[in-house]
Structure 1
Amino acid sequence: MLLTPEAELPDLDLAGIGLTGTGITMEKPRMTGFSDNRRGYEVTASRAEQNLLNPGVLGLFSLEARMDLQGNGWAVLAAEEGVLDTKAEALDLRKDIRLDTDKGDRVRMSEANIRFPQEEIISNAPVELASGSMTLTAARMRVTENGDAATFEGSVVMILQPQGSATAPTRTAQ
């Protein structure tokens, strides 16, 4: 039997790999690599879907990307859905995106485009950043230079809380 990408195949399950129509479903895929600056990254997911007509592109679900940062730090990026382009080493994320660093920085977004070799994260949707006693919201964000430079645009609001102060005044019942 000759199999071509256009052939319709029955659903099969072969040790975590399933074939359906012109696609492949994989359980718990993992990809690792290095940026242009030789910093490592790893992308894992609960499931990946690949169309045999475009094998360099993977749909990822419940995914997590761990990236080494300058100075031996790290960042973990998680999202509900994403599309990984293995040739371009790019990851486009959607739904409930969370970026956390070992230094306690936290970013929340609804979309993000990550270019691993360029060490760049771009979001053209609203973002929220919390770091120490600072929170920032913006309509768009671009992080470059492996996290050393960030640009925020559109309705940027920054709130600074003095160290040691309460986040909100407290009231006592009378």
Structure 2
Amino acid sequence: MASVQTAAYHTSMEARFAAAARHSRLVRTLRVAVPLVVALSLAAILAISIFNPFRLLSKLPIDIGDLVVSGTKITMESPHLAGFTNDGRPYEMWARSATQDLTSQDHVDLHTLRAKVVSDDQSTVLIQARDGKFNTKAQLLNLQKDVYLRTSTGSEAWMTQADIDMGKGNVSSDEPVDVKWLGGTLRGQRLRITEKGDVIRFEGGVVMNLDNANLPEPAEETDTRAQPAPAAVPNADAAAKSKSSQPGQRREVNRP
């Protein structure tokens, strides 16, 4: 009986010693891990502060507001980006805020944004949207929600989604689009703008309404073809003289 109790006692003591040993190892590990985690966190915050990834947006001038760091994301307040497209056309972009993930430095999420691009003919295109994603490396801008375009020539367009190639000047949308210009309105299910705006194609249930009142009046054409000269009216005296001088004609004189 005593031997059984002694064995149980030794087993209990061994379990307690094992638990104490595990606790000691955990304490030693935490003594090293916790300061290491704190140091790494401080180093990460310091690196973010010094090596701000937003400076890699482009080599162009950029104005920024306050920066907020949350995990791997950085939020910039009131950014303003200005630069040139691949073919030398200037553009500018403003936003209420912009967010970038450190794991994807070429992509920026924009909120309440505006953009301005100068076309080849020096006309200006203004773009507004509630949300957008900008690929700084490929110069691709994806717009979402309440997309509005206006040109300095008087044209307007409303869309819910649009993809804009800032370098090539192309615009595409697979959502319904409404367009208004001085000569009328147009609605289509899809839009393609290529050749830097020279080619505009609407697809899917296209409906166009023309406003003749606003259309420019065509210039009046004048008929410059040569008109035939009017026939000459014969002179009465000349006709009588010619008649009296005809040969073989006798003049009869009645004498009383």
TM superposition score normalised by structure 2 = 0.58
The question of 1:117 aligning with 2:167 is answered: yes
1:105-144 aligned at under 5 Å gives the runs: 105-144=155-194
The question of 1:31 aligning with 2:81 is answered: yes
Structure 1 pair 164–42 and aligned structure 2 pair: CA distance change class (3 A): closer
SS in 1 for 2:44: coil
- Matched AA of 2:127: L
- Aligned partner of 2:44 in structure 1 is 3
How far is 1:147 from its partner? 1.8
- Aligned partner of 2:226 in structure 1 is none
How far is 1:143 from its partner? 0.9
Separation (CA, whole Å) in 2 of partners of 1:164 and 1:78: 27
Name the structure with the higher strand share.
1
Relative contact order, CA 8 A, sep 6+: which one is greater?
A: 1
How far is 1:152 from its partner? 0.6
Separation (CA, whole Å) in 2 of partners of 1:88 and 1:70: 20
Separation (CA, whole Å) in 1 of partners of 2:116 and 2:133: 16
- Matched AA of 2:100: Q
How far is 1:164 from its partner? 5.2
Structure 1 pair 146–50 and aligned structure 2 pair: CA distance change class (3 A): same
Name the structure with the higher helix share.
2
Separation (CA, whole Å) in 2 of partners of 1:58 and 1:74: 24
How far is 1:145 from its partner? 2.3
Separation (CA, whole Å) in 2 of partners of 1:21 and 1:153: 44
Structure 1 pair 156–36 and aligned structure 2 pair: CA distance change class (3 A): same
- Matched AA of 1:102: S
Separation (CA, whole Å) in 2 of partners of 1:104 and 1:71: 14
How far is 1:28 from its partner? 1.1
User: Per-residue CA shift, 1:32-79, capped at 9, x if unaligned?
Assistant: 222232111111101001111101111000101100012221010000
Separation (CA, whole Å) in 1 of partners of 2:44 and 2:81: 26
Matched residue pairs, number? Answer: 157
Which segments of 5 or more consecutive residues in structure 2 lack a partner in the other structure?
A: 1-41, 49-64, 216-256
- Matched AA of 2:157: V
The range that moved more, 59-68 or 37-46, is: 37-46
The question of 1:69 aligning with 2:69 is answered: no
TM superposition score normalised by structure 1 = 0.85
Separation (CA, whole Å) in 1 of partners of 2:43 and 2:194: 47
Separation (CA, whole Å) in 1 of partners of 2:197 and 2:168: 11
How far is 1:30 from its partner? 1.9
Select 1:147's aligned residue among 184, 191, 197: 197
Which segments of 5 or more consecutive residues in structure 1 lack a partner in the other structure?
A: 8-14, 166-174
Separation (CA, whole Å) in 2 of partners of 1:114 and 1:55: 20
RMSD value, Cα? 1.9
SS in 2 for 1:3: helix
